[in-house]
Amino acid sequence: MVAGAREQLAESDSHSRHAPGPSATQLVWLRRGLEQPGGKLPLFDEWGQRIAEQTVRSCIARGWAEPWFANPLKPDWLVCKLTPAGRALIARDRH
């Protein structure tokens, strides 16, 4: 990742911590973890496109997702799972 992109991602993460709630994109991604064993979050969306790193990192920064394990074939991919806070967020959003 290029240094400028890293700084931009870090800046967006710090802004996301102060946002009032999750974006529609974040909610869609987090909800998909409810359907998977262990709350595993998908690497790709329903159209086969990779989930944006900004979406993943902002959810991690806000405590809704956490890294699960390292992918030895693709070390730059974050394999994540829902946290209890992520499950609670989805449950609140459904009501």
What was the pLDDT predicted at 19? 59
Q: What's the token pair of residue 61?
A: 């920064």
Q: What is the pTM of this model?
A: 0.75
In this model, does residue 51 exceed pLDDT 80?
yes
Identify the domain containing residue 32 by its residue range.
3-94
In this model, does residue 1 exceed pLDDT 80?
no
Question: What would the mean pLDDT of 42-46 be, rounded to a whole number?
Answer: 93
Domain count, the chain: 1
Across 54-82, b (16+ Cβ under 10 Å) vs e yields bbbbbbbbbebbbeeeeeeeeeeebebbb
